[in-house]
């Protein structure tokens, strides 16, 4: 899926092993991350020998220990891991004193500034139109800096949130989007913003990305990439009406989160959509779906998004052949349509889908 070559290849001929941190976290994360692990192990000689670190994080861990992201998890990821796979987190919708989302914290701790979410239909698309796009989401700023306060007023309490958009973060996510577009056939980047209303914050995001092709260090590299832009509400409308008009969509954190989940509806299920959180020196695969507490423990969670996230992680690291083998196997299982979980209209269990993928690999 998505781009066909690593953005920044971290693979080296001298590497003897690939050290992978596994962070299942909450809910069905504990069911789909083992599935991704099995897919990686099945690839064999196309990737280095694998070493796994089983690591803790999550809201359920917080309820037991008072810590959602242990220092030891961060240390092992930084010092003893080359990459990681993260499952899902059950962050509550209400405020819980002392709790902060571990996935948001990991993105900041490891400077994983780009969340790359490819959405591509395979076979007969339930949405009716072919979809092949990548949402490139800035991963460290926007409202997700979580600077919120409640202040008293004459009419009752007021809740306020700080929205942070910086030129530095906008520039590097813009470069990421252009690099991915270079590797795709259509070579188009669409900036998603709301600068007609948020003229300062979204205005800076828009202006900074529009300037990326003219940066001195770029040297005309992106001259063949077509640059478009779309107001975010209009972008959602057109995403459902005309998904074929999009290639690479680059967006601030919140918009990118919403758009990628919406795009998943066009291909049948959140259980199909992978992502990676990428920085300069580390990459972490993460299925787009959440912890799905309603199906936890029932053995019917769709493992394909996690397996695809493992493939995307391999490709970003430079192990193209290994990633392609996993993706090809997943696509064959979807196209045949005989072994699918209930979210895709099937009756198969998680384990049955995993076994089907492993046989194809």
CATH of the domain at 234: 3.40.718.10
Give the pLDDT band (50/70/90) at residue 269.
confident
Q: What is the pLDDT of residue 124?
A: 63
* Strand pairing category for 83-88 and 188-193: unpaired
* Close Cβ partners of 197 (under 8 Å, ≥ 6 residues apart): none
Q: Is residue 322 located within the same domain as residue 309?
A: yes
Q: Is residue 132 located within the same domain as residue 261?
A: yes
Answer yes or no: is pLDDT of 150 > 80: yes
Answer yes or no: is pLDDT of 142 > 90: yes
* pLDDT above 90: percentage of residues in the chain: 86
Give the pLDDT band (50/70/90) at residue 4.
very low
Average of pLDDT values for 336-348?
A: 96
Domain end (from 225, 251, 266): 266
Please give the model's pTM, rounded to 2 decimal places. 0.91
Q: What is the pLDDT of residue 172?
A: 97
Beta bridge partners of 295: none
Of 112 and 126, the one with more pLDDT: 112
Q: What is the pLDDT of residue 92?
A: 86
Average of pLDDT values for 342-352?
A: 96
Element (H, E) at 226: strand 226-231
Q: Is residue 143 located within the same domain as residue 165?
A: yes
Q: What is the pLDDT of residue 46?
A: 87
Angle at 215 between CA 210 and CA 220, to 5 degrees: 95
Q: What is the pLDDT of residue 7?
A: 45
State pLDDT tens for residues 35-71: 999 999 999 888 999 999 999 999 999 999 999 999 9
Q: Is residue 261 located within the same domain as residue 276?
A: no
Q: Is residue 12 located within the same domain as residue 87?
A: yes
Q: What is the pLDDT of residue 12?
A: 44
Q: Is residue 173 located within the same domain as residue 88?
A: no
Domain end (from 202, 231, 266): 266
Q: What is the pLDDT of residue 257?
A: 93
Asked if residue 119 belongs to a domain, the reply is no
Domain end (from 251, 266, 281): 266
Asked if residue 207 belongs to a domain, the reply is yes
State pLDDT tens for residues 62-107: 999 999 999 999 999 999 999 999 999 998 888 899 999 999 999 9
CB 1 within 8 Å of CB 327: yes
Q: Is residue 316 located within the same domain as residue 347?
A: yes
> The domain containing residue 311 runs over which residues?
1-113+271-361
Q: Is residue 275 located within the same domain as residue 257?
A: no
Q: Which residues of 11-40 are buried (b: 16+ CB within 10 A; e: fewer)?
A: beeebeebbbbbbbbbbbbbbbbbbbbbbb
Beta bridge partners of 135: 117, 249
Task: Please count the structural domains in the chain.
Answer: 2
User: Average per-residue pLDDT in the chain?
Assistant: 93
Q: What is the pLDDT of residue 94?
A: 85
As a whole number of angstroms, the distance between CA 250 and CA 225 comes to: 13
Give the pLDDT band (50/70/90) at residue 15.
low
Q: Is 44 left (phi over 0), alpha (psi -120 to 50) or beta?
A: left
Give the pLDDT band (50/70/90) at residue 111.
very high
Asked if residue 120 belongs to a domain, the reply is no
Answer yes or no: is pLDDT of 309 > 90: yes
Q: What is the pLDDT of residue 130?
A: 86
82: tokens are 């080359």
Q: Which of 330, 350, 348 is nearest to 338 (CA)?
A: 348
As a whole number of angstroms, the distance between CA 115 and CA 25 comes to: 19
Query: Using CB atoms within 10 A of its CB, is residue 83 exposed (0-12), middle (13-18) or buried (19+)?
Result: buried
As a whole number of angstroms, the distance between CA 250 and CA 232 comes to: 11
Asked if residue 1 belongs to a domain, the reply is yes
**Catalytic center residues:** 144, 194, 233, 257, 261
Q: Which of 239, 250, 176 is nearest to 206 (CA)?
A: 250
Answer yes or no: is pLDDT of 254 > 90: yes
């Amino acid at each position: 899926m998505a781009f066909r070559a690593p953005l920044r290849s971290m693979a080296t001929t001298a590497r003897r092993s690939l050290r992978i941190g596994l962070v299942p976290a909450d809910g069905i994360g504990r069911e789909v991350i083992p599935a991704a692990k099995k897919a990686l192990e099945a690839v064999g000689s196309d990737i280095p020998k694998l070493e796994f670190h089983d690591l803790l994080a999550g809201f359920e861990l917080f309820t037991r220990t008072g810590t959602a992201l242990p220092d030891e998890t961060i240390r092992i990821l930084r010092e003893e891991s080359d990459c990681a796979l993260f499952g899902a987190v059950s962050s509550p919708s209400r405020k819980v004193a002392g709790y902060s989302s571990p996935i948001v914290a990991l993105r900041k701790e490891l400077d994983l500034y780009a969340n790359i979410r490819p959405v591509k239909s395979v076979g007969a698309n339930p949405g009716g139109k072919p979809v092949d796009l990548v949402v490139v989401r800035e991963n460290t700023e926007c409202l997700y800096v979580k600077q919120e306060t409640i202040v008293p007023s004459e009419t009752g309490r007021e809740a306020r949130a700080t929205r942070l958009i910086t030129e530095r973060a906008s520039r590097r996510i813009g470069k990421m989007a252009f690099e991915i577009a270079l590797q795709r056939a259509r070579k188009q980047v669409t900036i998603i913003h709301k600068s007609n209303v948020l003229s300062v914050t979204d205005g800076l995001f828009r202006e900074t990305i529009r300037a990326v092709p003219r940066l001195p260090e770029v040297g005309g590299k992106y001259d063949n990439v077509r640059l478009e832009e779309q107001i975010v509400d209009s972008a959602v409308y057109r995403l459902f009406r005309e998904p074929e008009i999009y290639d690479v969509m680059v967006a601030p954190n919140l918009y990118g989160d919403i758009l990628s989940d919406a795009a998943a509806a066009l291909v049948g299920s959140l259980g199909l959509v992978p992502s990676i959180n990428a920085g300069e020196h580390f990459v972490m695969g993460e299925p787009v779906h959440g912890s799905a507490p309603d199906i936890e423990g029932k053995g019917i969670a769709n493992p394909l998004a996690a397996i695809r996230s493992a493939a995307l992680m391999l490709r970003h690291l430079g192990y193209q052949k290994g990633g392609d083998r996993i993706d090809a196997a997943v696509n064959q299982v979807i196209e045949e349509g005989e072994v699918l979980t209930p979210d895709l209209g099937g009756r198969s269990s998680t384990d049955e889908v995993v076994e089907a993928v492993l046989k194809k690999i």
